[in-house]
Amino acid sequence: MAPTHKGQPTVKAKRVPVIIVGAGRLGGALALALQAKRWPVRVYSRDDTGRERTRALGLKPATPADLKKARVCVLCVPDAAVPTVSQALSAELPRTVALVHTAGALPLSALTTQRGRTVGSFHPLCAVSSARDALEGHTAAISTRSPALRALLQRMAEDVGFAVIDVPEAHRAAYHAGAVLSAGGLVALADAAVGALGAAGIDPEAALKALLPLMRSALRGLEARGRSGGLTGPIVRGDAGVVSAHLKALPEDIAPLYGQLSRRALRLASDRLRPEQRAELEAVLTKP
């Protein structure tokens, strides 16, 4: 027995025939991970290039017979293609086949299908850069109104090595914004840090090479000690003079970002600072 998202015990879902639509980075990685766990998985592509890519990965292209036997069809396609692809597949798939998209930003209503078909979403919180990427250790965000489909997606996630979180449909945009901040936002933050080092005359390539290990060590600290405990730097030390000097030295397009992040860090570190330190930092960070 395995717990449901509401804490009630349920029978663990069986490994059923799965169709992955799309042989790109995510589709390939998810299909390989499921195949490694003995799921009967096939990859559906409409063109020869996709079918060739599928075979090159050691996966099996889906046949018309596979589509009829499937229990769930997972769309690993660009967000903009989800409505049209789901509509086209609805004409080919039996109504008993659940349709699931992997787009973090899209609601379930983006799946254009006939009434009565079960739908869901399965969004891996993983920046997949290759179909050969390992997915284990990441998290999948699941949304569906069907307890049976949720149990099936939960089993898929567990076999792949994902933790699972549930995404309320009404708050999907906030969820996806957080995911974007932690991935693309992190890359944009690295670009700002490279720009700051550029203001000190350091070559961008050398700057990034120096900063990446520092970023990794900060993430290790965050993982080991949490958000407040993982903070380092002048904010947590209460050093308003250093923060003031930073703001004066930074380029005008980077200084506001530094100020916003520092104010957030100050809230995280507030309990660890003396009142006078907090007051000095607040004064520096609220200067026009």
Reported pTM? 0.87
Q: What average pLDDT does the segment 17-45 reach?
A: 95
Question: b or e along 213-236 (b: 16 or more beta carbons within 10 Å of the residue's beta carbon)?
Answer: eeeeeeeeeeeeeeeeebbeebbb
Q: For 201-235, how does the pLDDT look when each residue is reduced to its tens digit (9 = 90+)?
A: 999 999 999 999 999 999 999 999 999 999 999 99
What does the pLDDT read at residue 2?
44
Q: Using 50, 70 and 90 to split pLDDT, how confident is the model at 113?
A: confident
C-alpha to C-alpha distance for 215 and 221, rounded to whole angstroms: 10
Number of helices (H) and strands (E), helices first, in the chain? 12, 9
Q: Using 50, 70 and 90 to split pLDDT, how confident is the model at 171?
A: very high
Decide if pLDDT at 5 tops 70. no
Q: What does the DSSP 8-state code read for residue 71?
A: S
SS3 74: strand
Q: Using 50, 70 and 90 to split pLDDT, how confident is the model at 82?
A: very high
What does the pLDDT read at residue 76?
96
Report CA-CA distances (Å) from 25 to 142, 182, 283: 20, 20, 48
Question: Mean pLDDT of all residues in the chain?
Answer: 93
Q: What average pLDDT does the segment 69-84 reach?
A: 96
Decide if pLDDT at 9 tops 50. no
What does the pLDDT read at residue 116?
87
Domain limits, the chain = 2-171, 183-285
Q: What average pLDDT does the segment 23-44 reach?
A: 95
H or E element that contains 101:
strand 98-101
Q: Using 50, 70 and 90 to split pLDDT, how confident is the model at 12?
A: confident
Identify the architecture of domain 2-171 in CATH: 3-Layer(aba) Sandwich (3.40)
